[in-house]
């Protein structure tokens, strides 16, 4: 067992001689780390007793004039809690170049400094040259996700050898700081989730209200008795009510499908199935709509291409993509469905020569209720849930789905699925 009062030297903990100059910026700029830091709401927020109590304890236990909870982003160091002498001229914010704690974030290890004037990492820092800091001990604020946000540190104005016992005490206090930070992160994640849920409820309510209003309007007119029930206008009202009821049923079915897919309650029934069988089934399903719209369907499938997939769900994806391609094609247009093998994947594409999708919408159309044009739902009879359902099905199979398009020339939707081992399977 090591002697707990044995002094610890910089080189023992930082893995050799201190590195000079600037640390590698990769860790400081890591977008995932910065996102967690932003969600923690530690930067720029007011002091909190929960953190101040811990810096007071740190300064008390280690008998140092300074103890701080510092977090570091890609530009500056921010002190969430400062236990400092009353006449301390330092600020709660410091440029990154002056920060001792940036070394803790980069090294992901305790930084132990006996004499800052002799340590290449911090000798030139304004903290050393102007504020007179000499000794420093910083413990990483290491979250359970592996992210280091900053450090709990103590510092003083005289050279000092830090003991293992002191490091252990500071490490325990740093763990308490981390607990506080993780509580805040949990809370902010929960609030974000609630906000998303509220948004979804309001979008869904809006989507349901539109067809309901139309049904209510048609039935109201018929019920008022002001219209001859046999007249063409009355028949039109009934037709509108029926179309909108269909739309409501589609919306609710799609919402239930998506919910079951995303919550994982819908188990995929994977079997070996020939791609040609799925393609034929999907093309048959949209043939009527295509001929009504004057659109020609073409397909090409690599022979013997066999998937390990849920047959009905893959047909659902193909039908959705084909139906969209038909909907957005001009009369006389051609929609092409191709399936081929690429390595261990089956690659599908559905191509049209319709109006296309602007580049900034290519990802967005896979989100719920997102449409390129807000009139698409009404005029094209869509629900805005087709592509999110496709994405969910493809991803559950371990595949990918994306779109490419040139506005005015057409769109191509691509997706991949795993092939059955060897590419020749039983079929179904």
Q: Does 262 bind ligand ADP (CB under 6 A)?
A: no
Q: Which two tokens stand for residue 20?
A: 């000079």
Q: Does 393 bind ligand ADP (CB under 6 A)?
A: no
Q: For ligand ADP, which is the closer residue by CB, 99 or 320? A: 320
Binders of ligand ADP among residues 141 to 170 (CB under 6 A) are none
For ligand ADP, the binding residue among 138, 156, 354, 399 (CB under 6 A) is 354
First to last CA, the chain: 67
Least Å from the CB of residue 18 to ligand ADP:
56
**Using DSSP, how many helices (H) and how many strands (E) does the chain show?**
12, 15
Q: Residue 318 in contact with residue 279, Cβ under 8 Å?
A: yes
Q: What's the angle, vertex CA 237, arms to CA 230 and CA 231, rounded to 5?
A: 20
Q: For ligand ADP, which is the closer residue by CB, 184 or 355? A: 355
For ligand ADP, the binding residue among 328, 348, 414, 415 (CB under 6 A) is 328
Q: Residue 151 in contact with residue 141, Cβ under 8 Å?
A: yes
- Relative to beta strand 162-163, strand 270-274 is unpaired
Q: What is the C-alpha separation between 427 and 419, in angstroms, rounded? A: 12
The interface region with ligand ADP, picked from 79-87, 113-121, 228-236, 378-386 by CB under 6 A, is 378-386
Q: For ligand ADP, which is the closer residue by CB, 196 or 407? A: 407
Q: Does 188 bind ligand ADP (CB under 6 A)?
A: no
The interface region with ligand ADP, picked from 149-157, 221-229, 380-388, 418-426 by CB under 6 A, is 380-388
Q: Does 317 bind ligand ADP (CB under 6 A)?
A: no
Residue 41, phi-psi category: left (phi > 0), alpha (psi -120 to 50), beta (remainder):
left
The interface region with ligand ADP, picked from 38-46, 93-101, 271-279, 347-355 by CB under 6 A, is 347-355
Q: Residue 200 in contact with residue 184, Cβ under 8 Å?
A: no
Least Å from the CB of residue 339 to ligand ADP:
17
Number of CB atoms found within 10 A of residue 156's CB: 19
Map tokens 């500071």 to a residue.
170
φ, ψ for residue 353 (rounded to 5)? -120, 40
Q: For ligand ADP, which is the closer residue by CB, 354 or 399? A: 354
For ligand ADP, the binding residue among 163, 271, 299, 371 (CB under 6 A) is 371
Q: Does 387 bind ligand ADP (CB under 6 A)?
A: yes
Q: Does 18 bind ligand ADP (CB under 6 A)?
A: no
Handedness of CA 269, 270, 274, 278 (dihedral sign): positive
Q: Does 336 bind ligand ADP (CB under 6 A)?
A: no
The interface region with ligand ADP, picked from 80-88, 91-99, 218-226, 373-381 by CB under 6 A, is 373-381
Q: What is the C-alpha separation between 78 and 59, in angstroms, rounded? A: 19
Q: If we measure between CA atoms, which residue out of 307, 221, 220, 323 comes closest to residue 269?
A: 307
Q: Does 346 bind ligand ADP (CB under 6 A)?
A: no
Q: Residue 148 in contact with residue 105, Cβ under 8 Å?
A: yes
Q: Does 365 bind ligand ADP (CB under 6 A)?
A: yes
Binding interface with ligand ADP (CB under 6 A):
320, 324-325, 328, 352, 354-355, 357, 365, 371-373, 376-377, 382-387, 411
């Amino acid at each position: 067992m090591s002697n707990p009062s044995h002094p610890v030297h910089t080189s023992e903990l930082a893995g050799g001689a201190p590195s000079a100059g600037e640390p590698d910026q990769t860790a400081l700029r890591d977008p995932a780390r910065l996102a967690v830091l932003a969600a923690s709401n530690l930067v720029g927020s007011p002091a909190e007793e929960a953190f101040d109590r811990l810096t007071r304890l740190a300064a008390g236990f280690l008998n140092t004039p300074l103890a701080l909870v510092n977090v570091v982003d890609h530009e500056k160091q921010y002190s969430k809690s400062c236990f400092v002498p009353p006449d301390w001229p330092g600020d709660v914010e410091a440029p990154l170049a002056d920060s001792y704690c940036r070394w803790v974030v980069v090294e992901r290890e305790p930084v132990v400094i006996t004499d800052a004037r002799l340590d290449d990492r911090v000798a030139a820092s304004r903290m050393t040259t102007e504020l007179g800091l000499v000794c420093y001990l910083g413990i990483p604020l290491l979250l359970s996700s592996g992210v280091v946000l900053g450090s709990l540190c103590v510092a003083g104005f005289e050279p000092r050898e830090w003991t293992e016992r002191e490091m252990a005490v500071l490490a325990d206090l740093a763990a308490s700081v981390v607990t506080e930070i993780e509580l805040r992160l949990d809370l902010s994640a929960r609030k974000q989730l609630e906000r998303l849920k509220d948004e979804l409820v309001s979008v869904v309510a809006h989507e349901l209200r539109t067809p309901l209003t139309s049904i209510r309007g048609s039935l109201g007119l018929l019920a008022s008795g002001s219209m001859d029930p046999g007249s063409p206008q009355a028949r039109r009202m009934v037709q509108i009510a029926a179309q909108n009821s269909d739309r409501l049923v589609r919306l609710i079915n799609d919402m239930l499908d998506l919910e079951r897919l995303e919550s994982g309650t819908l188990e995929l029934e994977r079997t070996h199935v020939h791609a040609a069988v799925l393609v034929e089934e999907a093309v048959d399903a949209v043939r009527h709509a295509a001929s009504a719209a004057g659109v020609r369907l073409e397909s090409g499938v690599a022979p013997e291409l066999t998937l390990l997939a849920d047959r009905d769900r893959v047909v659902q994806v193909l039908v959705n993509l084909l139906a969209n391609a038909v909907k957005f094609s001009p009369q006389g247009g051609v929609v092409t469905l191709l399936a081929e093998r690429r390595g261990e994947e089956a690659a599908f594409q559905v191509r049209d020569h319709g109006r296309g999708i602007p580049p900034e919408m290519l990802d967005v159309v896979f989100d719920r209720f997102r449409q390129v044009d807000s009139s698409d739902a009404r005029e094209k009879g869509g629900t805005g849930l087709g592509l999110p359902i496709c994405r969910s099905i493809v991803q559950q199979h371990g595949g990918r789905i994306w779109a490419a398009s040139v506005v005015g020339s057409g769109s191509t939707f691509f997706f991949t699925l795993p092939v059955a081992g060897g590419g020749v399977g039983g079929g179904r």
